Amino acid sequence: MTLKVSDIGEKELVKYIIANSKDITPDDTAITELTSTNLISTCDMLIQSKHFPETMSYFDMGFKSITVNVSDLAAMGAEPLGFLLSIAVPKDLDLDSFKELIEGVLSACSYYSIPLIGGDTNEASEIIISGTALGLCDNPLLKNTCSKDDLIAVTGDIGLAALGFNLETPDNIYVKNAIRPIAKLREGILIKDAGASSATDITDGLASELHEMKRNGFGFMIYEEMLGISDEYKHLAEKLNLDYLDLVLHVGEDFELVFTISEDNLKNLSIDYKVIGKVTDSDSIELTLENGLVVEIKNKGYEHYVSE
C-alpha cells in the first residue's frame, strides 16, 4: 500500500525533512551564526479555509499572520528585526477587504515593533498568507535543554482560544483570544534573560509542545490544580459537551510560552507566570488530576494533513 502524507501527519513530514538536511535547526526557528550574535528566522503559512474562522475579519487575518511568526521569535527570546510578507488573494476580492487585511498586518508590525521590509504577491482561489520573521539573539532559548527538578511554567492561561473557537457569543475573553491572539514577545526576552533553561510557544496544544520539549531520560509532571482552570471554563465546556482538559491540553492556538526554569532563577522573572509542574527523571509526561490520580499525557495536538 502506498502511504499518503495524511497517514503520517505534519510532524513526521518535518522529521523527514530535518533528517535529510544537515543545515536545519530542529527548533522553533532557524539559528544562523553572525559575527557577534545570531540571526533568528522563521516562516509560517496561513490558509483562509484552514486557519481563519468565518467570523474573523480581514484585519484580524492580517494581524494573526504576523503574530504566528513573531510567536516563534518570542519562544527563542529574540529581538525582532524585520518581516517579509508573501500573500496570495483571489482576483475578485474586494479592494477594501485587501486594504483591511494589510491594515491588520501593519498594525501588528507596529505592535510588535517589527518593520515590514518586503515580500511577494500572487493570485489564488483563497487567501494564503506566508510570513517570514527575522530577529536577533545572542543566546537563543532552545526546546530540549531542560534539567531535572526545573519548574515548568506558562506565561498565562491556556485553553482560552480552544474554547473560544466553539462559542458563538463574540464579546468574551475566550473568543477574543481565538480571533486575535497576541504573541508573548517581551515575555520571551525576559524569560531568556532570567535564565530559563528551555522554552517553546503553545500553538499546537500544551501536550504536543511538552512532547516536543522532552529529552531522553527526562519527564514532566503537570498538576491539574496548578493549571488554574476556572469553574466558568469547566461549565462552558460541559454545556458544549466538550472535555475541558482536552481543550486545555490538546487544541492549542494559545500563543502563550511554556518554559522550564530552575527554582533559583525563578526569582529573576519580572513577568506574570504560572508554575504548572516539574521536570522529573521518569522518562514520561504525566498529569496529576485534582483527585490525585496520575495519568499519562498523550502526544496529541493540532496537526496539518491529519483528519480527525
Q: What's the chain's length in residues?
A: 308
Reported CATH class of domain 5-137:
alpha beta
pTM over 0.75: yes
281: Cβ contacts below 8 Å, ≥ 6 apart: 148, 217, 218, 219
* Mean pLDDT in residue range 269-297: 95
Domain locations in the chain?
A: 5-137, 151-296
pLDDT at residue 299 in the model: 87
| pLDDT at 305 > cutoff 50 | no
Q: Among all chains, which residue has been given the C-alpha cell 473560544? A: 164
Q: What are the grid coordinates assigned to 42, written together?
A: 522563521
Integer distance in angstroms from the first to the last C-alpha of the chain?
Answer: 21
**Tens-digit pLDDT profile for residues 10-52:** 767 777 777 777 666 666 688 999 989 999 999 999 999 999 9
* Mean pLDDT in residue range 242-267: 95
Average pLDDT, the chain: 92
pLDDT at residue 240 in the model: 95
The answer to whether the CB of 140 falls within 8 A of the CB of 38 is yes
Q: Among all chains, which residue has been given the C-alpha cell 504536543? A: 208
Two domains, one topology: 5-137 and 151-296: no
232: Cβ contacts below 8 Å, ≥ 6 apart: none
Q: Tell me the CATH architecture of domain 151-296.
A: Alpha-Beta Complex (3.90)
pLDDT at residue 26 in the model: 63
E strands in 113-217: 116-123, 128-137, 151-154, 198-201
Q: Among all chains, which residue has been given the C-alpha cell 496529541? A: 300
Q: How confident is the model at residue 176 (pLDDT cuts 50, 70, 90)?
A: very high
| pLDDT at 252 > cutoff 90 | no
Dump the DSSP string for 200-265: EE-SS-HHHHHHHH--TT-EEEEEHHHH---HHHHHHHHHTT--HHHHHHHT-----EEEEE-HHH
